[in-house]
């Protein structure tokens, strides 16, 4: 998280200043930059695309349980909690049903 912030802000500030402010070493920052993306992160990124597609197909109404069920139907093996986390990270939320509100009184004498 710290390194990602430094990577974003390095156009405005020197890397050495940012590293000192974030209390990390510049060599650690550059080592992080050269490191390949983790397999888990890459899988999450690909899963994010599938989650977005499933959510859009549902007219943006499905939450994580239904998106998970749709992905399982497509043959994607993933846990519901992971789908929920990816949706949360992407800012995707299902729509809740409206609550039924009774507006008339059914009693005959009312």
Per-residue pLDDT tens for 27-79?
999 999 999 999 999 999 999 999 999 999 999 899 999 999 999 999 999 99
Interatomic CA distance for residues 24 and 70, integer angstroms: 43
Whether 109 has a pLDDT exceeding 70, the answer reads no
Name the DSSP class of 38.
P
What is the pLDDT, as a whole number, of residue 106?
Answer: 74
Task: Give the structural domain span for 74.
Answer: 39-90
Confidence at 110, pLDDT banded by 50, 70, 90: low
Interatomic CA distance for residues 42 and 21, integer angstroms: 29
49 and 75, same domain (yes or no): yes
Q: Could you give the number of structural domains in the chain?
A: 2
The mean per-residue pLDDT over the stretch 19-24 comes to 94
In a domain, 26, yes or no: yes
Whether 97 has a pLDDT exceeding 90, the answer reads no
């Amino acid at each position: 998280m710290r390194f990602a912030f430094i990577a974003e802000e390095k156009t405005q500030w020197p890397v050495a200043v940012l590293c000192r402010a974030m209390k990390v070493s510049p060599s650690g920052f550059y080592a992080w930059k050269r490191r390949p993306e983790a397999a888990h992160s890459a899988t999450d990124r690909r899963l994010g695309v599938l989650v977005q597609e499933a959510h859009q197909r549902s007219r943006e109404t499905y939450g994580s349980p239904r998106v998970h069920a749709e992905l399982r139907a497509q043959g994607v093996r993933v846990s519901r909690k992971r789908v929920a986390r990816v949706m949360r990270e992407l800012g995707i939320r299902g729509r809740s049903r409206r609550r039924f509100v009774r507006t008339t009184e059914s009693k005959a004498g009312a």
